[in-house]
């Protein structure tokens, strides 16, 4: 092969690599945009639009339950949340706020650009205005909720969709008392599956997410940005039982 042919081949390879890198960046932005818009839809109780973000074969992990497929997603968002929060309306109602700011996104696209994983943080501010006259045993009047997502995404026919949404609450508390006074089981885990519970998950997860003040690290999908090594998940901070020694003593 002469020098001109070699130079042309090298240039083609460089262009292919650049095209791939550009495509990955476009995918990262598309996944970020998808998840941020999902957050906007949840903010305003637009549950039809939120469910439309999911793949047909999706999974939703929520408070110890696993909702499978679009039917499971609709059961959780439309039949459950919508009837509980907005009395069946797809959209905002007077006196109810459910803001879900999405932030700290870490998005990684697979080399084939057909799947991706991402970690997001959510800081929820929710509440019911006093004029709406809420049922205190159903919806707290004002509450904070901090949570993490470790999600999977899939690209079908050039369109990115949520394949697996894993919502992990980190802490939940009332606005008045804050996280320093979160009562035990402030928001209980799901315990009954569908159809015994018409709004319940298809399955219960093998593990139970810890809830504040017990504290754990949600496993990272990615490697350490400097060392390139897997990020080891440390042991959780569990409630000390009476008579147990203090760690390190």
How many Å is the Cα radius of gyration of the chain? 22
User: Rounded mean pLDDT of the chain?
Assistant: 91
- The Cα-based distances of 123 to 1, 8, 43, 152 in angstroms read 60, 52, 11, 20
Half-sphere exposure in the Cβ direction for 76 (13 Å, CA): 26
> Between 12 and 43, where is the model more confident?
43
Domain carrying residue 119: 3-204
Mean per-residue pLDDT, 189-194: 96
- The two tokens of residue 81 are 């949340």
> Between 188 and 242, where is the model more confident?
188
When divided into structural domains, the chain yields a total of 1
Instruction: Report pLDDT for 81.
Output: 96
Do the beta carbons of residue 149 and residue 165 sit within 8 Å? Answer: yes
Would residue 119 count as lying in a domain?
Answer: yes
Would residue 210 count as lying in a domain?
Answer: no
Would residue 88 count as lying in a domain?
Answer: yes
Strands 54-62 and 159-174: parallel
How far, in Å, CA of 30 to CA of 116, rounded?
Answer: 11
Do the beta carbons of residue 186 and residue 173 sit within 8 Å? Answer: yes
Do the beta carbons of residue 145 and residue 133 sit within 8 Å? Answer: no
> Is a pLDDT exceeding 60 seen at residue 43?
yes
How far, in Å, CA of 23 to CA of 156, rounded?
Answer: 15
The pLDDT tens digits for 126-176 are 998 888 865 655 556 789 999 999 999 999 999 999 999 999 999 999 888
Those residues whose C-beta lies under 8 Å from the C-beta of residue 150, and which sit 6 or more positions away, are 117, 118, 119, 166, 168, 218, 219, 220, 221
The pLDDT tens digits for 3-26 are 677 778 888 889 999 999 999 999
Instruction: Report pLDDT for 67.
Output: 98
Q: How confident is the model at residue 249 (pLDDT cuts 50, 70, 90)?
A: very low
Any idea what the CATH number is for the domain that residue 113 is in? 3.10.450.50
The pLDDT tens digits for 76-126 are 999 999 999 999 999 999 999 999 999 999 999 999 999 999 999 999 999
- Angle, vertex CA 86, rays to CA 85 and CA 87, nearest 5: 105
> Is a pLDDT exceeding 90 seen at residue 244?
no
> Is a pLDDT exceeding 80 seen at residue 63?
yes
Instruction: Report pLDDT for 219.
Output: 96
- The two tokens of residue 205 are 């997860």
Closest CA to 174 of 140, 214, 203, 132: 140
Would residue 10 count as lying in a domain?
Answer: yes
Would residue 176 count as lying in a domain?
Answer: yes
Would residue 164 count as lying in a domain?
Answer: yes
The neighbour count for residue 17, using CB atoms within 10 Å, is: 10
Would residue 51 count as lying in a domain?
Answer: yes
The neighbour count for residue 216, using CB atoms within 10 Å, is: 16
Instruction: Report pLDDT for 66.
Output: 98
Would residue 248 count as lying in a domain?
Answer: no
- Angle, vertex CA 110, rays to CA 109 and CA 111, nearest 5: 115
């Amino acid at each position: 092969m002469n020098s001109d042919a070699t130079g042309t081949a090298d240039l083609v390879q460089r262009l292919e690599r650049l095209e791939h890198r550009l495509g990955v960046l476009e995918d990262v932005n598309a996944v970020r945009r998808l998840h941020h818009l999902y957050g906007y839809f949840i903010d305003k109780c637009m549950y039809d639009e939120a469910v439309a973000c999911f793949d047909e074969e999706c999974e939703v992990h929520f408070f110890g339950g696993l909702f499978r497929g679009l039917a499971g997603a609709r059961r959780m968002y439309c039949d459950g949340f919508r009837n509980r929060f907005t009395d069946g309306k797809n959209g905002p109602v007077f006196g109810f706020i459910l803001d879900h700011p999405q932030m700290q996104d870490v998005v990684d696209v697979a080399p084939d650009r057909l799947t991706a994983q991402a970690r997001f943080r959510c800081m929820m501010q929710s509440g019911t205005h006093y004029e709406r006259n809420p049922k205190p045993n159903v919806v707290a009047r004002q509450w904070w909720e901090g949570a993490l997502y470790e999600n999977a995404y899939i690209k079908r026919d050039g369109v990115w969709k949520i394949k697996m949404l894993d919502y992990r609450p980190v802490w939940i508390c009332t606005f008045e008392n804050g996280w320093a006074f979160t009562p035990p089981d402030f928001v209980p885990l799901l315990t009954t599956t569908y159809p015994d519970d018409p709004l319940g998950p298809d399955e219960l997860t093998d593990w139970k997410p810890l809830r504040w003040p017990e504290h754990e690290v949600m496993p990272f999908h990615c490697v350490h940005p400097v060392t390139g090594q897997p990020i080891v998940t440390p042991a959780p901070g569990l409630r000390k039982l009476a008579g147990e020694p203090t760690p390190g003593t």
